[in-house]
């Protein structure tokens, strides 16, 4: 299975699990957990140790560095030195934004 296929199936199963929770049908919800966990373990988040990522786990988007990866859990540290273990779904790659160069004010006079 490709990552896209895994993610699509995980999303579908996750939605079903939430629907079962809404009606308090925990027995049916719990039947879906093993498959969701299996897919989660197979999903490749594409991150590596030492990589800087963006995360919102501290309430707003911050840059953090991945210290350790253990299975599907990522141990990260932000610029303030705060550390947390989180899922790869709480992380996103840092994309290069275009650099705006400062112009000389005298060019316009």
DSSP secondary structure code for residue 25 in this structure: -
* 63 lies in some domain: yes
- pLDDT category at 95 given cuts 50, 70, 90 is confident
61 with 32, same domain: the answer is no
Whole-number average pLDDT of the chain? 89
Burial of 6 (0-12, 13-18, 19+ CB in 10 A): middle
Q: Is 107 among the domain residues? A: no
* Number of Cβ within a 10 Å radius of residue 66: 20
pLDDT of residue 48: 92
Q: Residue 79's domain spans which residues?
A: 52-93
Mean pLDDT in residue range 49-67: 94
Q: Write 11-15 long-range contacts (CB < 8 A, 24+).
A: 13/39
Do 38 and 57 reside in the same domain of the chain? no
Q: Does any domain span residue 10?
A: yes
What is the CATH classification number for the domain harbouring 68? 2.30.30
Claim to verify: residue 67 and residue 34 sit in the same structural domain:
no
Half-sphere exposure (CA, 13 Å, Cβ side) for 78? 16
Q: Confirm if 75 and 66 have CB atoms less than 8 A apart.
A: yes
Structure confidence at residue 73 (pLDDT) = 92
pLDDT tens-digit series, residues 9-51? 999 999 999 999 999 999 999 999 999 999 999 998 889 999 9
Q: Are 62 and 81 members of one domain?
A: yes
98 domain-assigned = no
Residue identified by tokens 């160069």 is 101
| Structural domain total, the chain | 2
Q: What are phi and psi of 63, to 5 degrees?
A: -90, 135
Whether pLDDT at 83 is above 70: yes
């Amino acid at each position: 299975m490709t990552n896209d296929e895994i993610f699509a199936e995980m999303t579908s199963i996750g939605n079903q699990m939430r629907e079962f929770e809404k009606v308090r049908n925990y027995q049916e919800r719990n039947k879906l957990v093993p498959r969701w966990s299996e897919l989660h373990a197979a999903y490749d988040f594409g991150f590596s140790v030492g990589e800087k990522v963006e995360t919102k786990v501290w309430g707003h988007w911050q840059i953090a560095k991945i210290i350790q990866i253990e299975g599907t859990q990522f141990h990260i540290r932000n610029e303030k030195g705060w550390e947390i273990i989180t899922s790869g779904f709480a992380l996103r790659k840092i994309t290069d934004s275009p650099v705006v160069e400062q112009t000389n004010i005298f060019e316009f006079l």
